[in-house]
Amino acid sequence: MTEPTTQGNPDYRDSGLVFPPGFTFGSATASYQVEGAFDEDGRGPSTWDTFSKTPGKVWNGDTGDVACDHYHRVDADLDLMKDLGLDAYRFSIAWPRIQSFDGAAGSPTAVVNQKGIDFYSRLVDGLLERGIKPVATLYHWDLPQALEDAGGWPVRATVDAFEEYASIMGAALGDRVHTWTTLNEPWCSAYLGYGQGGHAPGRHEPAAALAAVHHLNLAHGRAVSALRATSAGSPEYSVTLNFHVLRGAGDGAADAVRRIDALANRAFTGPMLKGEYPADLLEDTASVTDWSFVQDGDLAAIHQPIDVLGVNYYSTATVRLWDGVSPKQMNDGHKGAAGGTAWPGSDRVVEFVEQPGPYTAMGWNIAPEGLEELLVSLSEQFPEQPLMITENGAAFDDVVAEDGSVPDPERLDYLRRHFTAAHRAMARGVDLRGYFVWSLLDNFEWGYGYAKRFGIVRVDFDTLERTVKNSGRWYAELVRERAIPD
Ligand code: IFM
C-alpha cells in the first residue's frame, strides 16, 4: 500500500476545514469495557465475564470486573463529557443488567431487572440534562451467559430473546434516546466469537459462525421493528458495522478481495440494506454450511429501513490467494489466543499480507485514505443511506508527563488525519452525519485487557482517576469551533 494520499498532496490541508451545522461530534464506549460493577444490582454473568476469567484468554488475566468503574462514576463522567463539549455520547447497554436468566441450560427464562433499567435511565437523563444526545447500542458483545449455554448466536432462540430485550428497552428509554443502534460489529460477534475464538465465547466452529451471522442479522431486523413498536419518542434507528477496507495483491487479487468482502462486509449489508445474501457468499461457504437456518420471511424481517448506517473504521487490510504451500500469513489484525478461523470457506484460500506502517500500538496500519475511500464507496453502493462514523480512533502507548498531563501527539495526528479524510469524503458528496471518537476513556480492550489505550481521556487503572489527554483537548476545540484546529 502506498503512503496515505492525504500526505504530500499540494491541494491538501488538514486544519481550518469546517464541518456543516448539525454535524454530530461524539465519543463512544461500551458497557463491558467501562462499567465494572460486574455483579451489582442484579447484573448476571455475560460471556465476556466467563471468557475473561478463563486462563489464557485475555492478556495478563485482566477482566471487566472493575474496568473504569463507570457504573459508580457516571455523574463525574457525564460532567467530563459536558466539559469536552460533546454533542452526543454513544454507549451500550449490558443485556445482563436488564434481564436475569433462570431455568435449566437450554431453556432459560428471563426476569426483568428494574435496577439495571434504572441505571441506563439515569444515564440518559444525565446526558439530556447536559445537552448531549444519547446514542444507545443494544448489543456490544456481552451476551448473557445463560443464552450462550443454551446455544448462543448460532441458535434461533437467541434472536427471540433479543427481540424481547429490544422491546423492554424501547419501552423503557424510547421516549428519550436519540438514536438506537441494534448491534455493534456483528462481524466480531459471529466470526471472532464462534469461528476464530479470540473473542467470547471462544468457539472454533465455522458453520456455527455463519449461523451466528444470520441470527445476528435477523436480531438486528427484529430489534428495529420491536424498538419502533415500543419507543414513545421519535428516535432514529441504526446498526454499526466494522467494514473491512481491502486491497488485493498477487495473481487472483480480485478474487481474494471479493471473497473477504463477501464474508466481512456484504454478509451484513446484503440482508440489512438490500434484503438478500450475496450469491457468491453462499457459494464460497457451501462446503461449510447449506444456510438452511435461513427461513422464509427472514430476509424481509432483516431488511428494515434505518436512518443512519454506523461505520467503524480503523485500518486497511491486504489479501491475496494463498498458494497452499508457503507458510500462511494471517496478519488480519485479529490475532491472539484464538486457534480457529474468522474466514469460513476462505481460510484455505485467502491469506492476509502484512501491511506497511506506520502502525498504532495495536499493530494496525494507519491509513486515513481508507476512511475516505470507504465512505465514498458506501455512498456509491447505498446512495440513499446517510452514514455516521460510530468509531474511529487509535491505541498508543501514552506517557504521562511530569506535570501530570498526557501529551499524545500520535493519537492527535491520527485523529486529525482521519477527520480530514472524513471531511474530504463529504466534499465528494458523502452524506456523513457525524463522527464518534473511540474511545472516551481508556478501557478494557477485549483480548488485550488494559494493555491498549484508546481513550482521549486517560484512566489510571490503579486510582481510576481520569485525565483529559492532549488529543481530548484538541477534540474539544474541534467540537467548539466546528472546524479542524491547527
Ligand atoms: O474496543 C473496540 C470496540 O469495542 C469495538 N470496535 C473496535 C474497538 C478497538 O478495538
3-state secondary structure of 236: strand
For the chain, the average pLDDT equals: 95
3-state secondary structure of 332: coil
C-alpha of residue 443 to centroid of ligand 1, in Å: 10
| Angle (nearest 5°) at CA 467 between 462 and 472 | 140
Which atom of ligand 1 sits closest to the CA of residue 242? Answer: 6
Q: Which pLDDT tens digit goes with each residue over 122-140?
A: 999 999 999 999 999 999 9
Residue 339 has pLDDT above 90, yes or no: no
Residue 332 has pLDDT above 90, yes or no: no
Q: Which pLDDT tens digit goes with each residue over 375-411?
A: 999 999 999 999 999 999 999 999 999 999 999 999 9
Residue 252 has pLDDT above 90, yes or no: yes
Alpha carbon distances (Å) from 249 to 254, 318, 321, 352, 354: 8, 7, 8, 10, 11
For residue 431, tell me if it sits in a domain. yes
Segment 331-356 shows an average pLDDT of: 83
Q: Which pLDDT tens digit goes with each residue over 190-204?
A: 999 999 999 999 999
In angstroms, the CA 289 to CA 303 distance is 22
DSSP code at position 4: P
Q: Is the peptide bond preceding residue 201 cis, with omega within 30 degrees of 0?
A: yes
pLDDT band at 13 (very low <50, low <70, confident <90, very high): low
Catalytic pick from 35, 163, 185, 351? 185
For residue 332, tell me if it sits in a domain. no
The pLDDT value given to residue 334: 63
Q: Which of 392, 436, 438, 452 to mutate to test the pocket of ligand 1 (most atoms within 8 A of CB)?
A: 438
* E strands present in 192-330: 236-242, 245-248, 308-312, 316-321
CATH code (residue 413): 3.20.20.80
For residue 266, tell me if it sits in a domain. yes
For residue 113, tell me if it sits in a domain. yes
C-alpha of residue 22 to centroid of ligand 1, in Å: 26
Q: Which of 91, 244, 391, 456 to mutate to test the pocket of ligand 1 (most atoms within 8 A of CB)?
A: 391
Query: Among 239, 252, 259, 391, which residue's Cα sits nearest to residue 313?
Result: 391
The pLDDT value given to residue 338: 63
In angstroms, the CA 152 to CA 144 distance is 9
Q: Which residues line ligand 1 (CB under 6 A)?
A: 30, 33, 185, 312, 391, 438, 445, 454
Q: Which pLDDT tens digit goes with each residue over 82-117?
A: 999 999 999 999 999 999 998 777 788 999 999 999
Q: Which of 31, 445, 453 to mutate to test the pocket of ligand 1 (most atoms within 8 A of CB)?
A: 445
Half-sphere CA count of 3, side-chain side, radius 13 A? 4
Q: Which of 68, 442, 446 to mutate to test the pocket of ligand 1 (most atoms within 8 A of CB)?
A: 446
Q: What do you get for the CA distance between the two ends of the chain, in Å? A: 28
Active site residue 477: no
Segment 352-368 shows an average pLDDT of: 95
Which atom of ligand 1 sits closest to the CA of residue 33? Answer: 4
Q: Which of left, alpha, beta for 335 (phi over 0: left; psi -120 to 50: alpha)?
A: beta
For residue 459, tell me if it sits in a domain. yes
The pLDDT value given to residue 6: 43
Nine-digit cell at 83?
466539559
pLDDT band at 12 (very low <50, low <70, confident <90, very high): low
Is pTM beyond 0.95? Reply is: yes
For residue 440, tell me if it sits in a domain. yes
The pLDDT value given to residue 5: 43
Residue 341 has pLDDT above 60, yes or no: yes
Segment 142-163 shows an average pLDDT of: 98
The pLDDT value given to residue 8: 44
Looking at the structure of the chain, the number of domains it has is 1
C-alpha of residue 107 to centroid of ligand 1, in Å: 31
C-alpha of residue 393 to centroid of ligand 1, in Å: 9
Pick the residue whose CA is nearest to atom 9 on ligand 1.
445
Active site residue 465: no
Alpha carbon distances (Å) from 388 to 157, 173, 276, 309, 412: 31, 22, 23, 6, 21
Residue 298 has pLDDT above 60, yes or no: yes
Which atom of ligand 1 sits closest to the CA of residue 454? Answer: 9
C-alpha of residue 313 to centroid of ligand 1, in Å: 10
Residue 335 has pLDDT above 60, yes or no: no
C-alpha of residue 11 to centroid of ligand 1, in Å: 33
Query: Among 237, 240, 259, which residue's Cα sits nearest to residue 248?
Result: 259
Pick the residue whose CA is nearest to atom 1 on ligand 1.
445
C-alpha of residue 462 to centroid of ligand 1, in Å: 22
Segment 34-42 shows an average pLDDT of: 98
Which atom of ligand 1 sits closest to the CA of residue 393? Answer: 9
Phi, psi (rounded to 5 degrees) for 21: -60, 140
Answer with the residue of higher pLDDT: 478 or 9: 478
For residue 344, tell me if it sits in a domain. no
Q: What is the 3-state secondary structure (H, E, C) of 45-85?
A: CEHHHHHHCCCCCCHHHCCCCCCCCCCCCHHHHHHHHHHHC
For residue 331, tell me if it sits in a domain. no
DSSP code at position 402: T
Pick the residue whose CA is nearest to atom 10 on ligand 1.
445
C-alpha of residue 445 to centroid of ligand 1, in Å: 7
Pick the residue whose CA is nearest to atom 2 on ligand 1.
445
C-alpha of residue 43 to centroid of ligand 1, in Å: 23
The pLDDT value given to residue 233: 98
Which atom of ligand 1 sits closest to the CA of residue 391? Answer: 6
Domain boundaries, position 227:
24-316+358-481
The pLDDT value given to residue 14: 76
Which atom of ligand 1 sits closest to the CA of residue 395? Answer: 9
3-state secondary structure of 395: coil
Nine-digit cell at 421?
479524510
**Could you give the percent of the chain with pLDDT greater than 70?**
96
Residue 283 has pLDDT above 60, yes or no: yes
The pLDDT value given to residue 71: 99
Query: Among 140, 167, 161, 429, which residue's Cα sits nearest to residue 312?
Result: 140
pLDDT band at 15 (very low <50, low <70, confident <90, very high): confident
Catalytic pick from 35, 148, 369, 391? 391
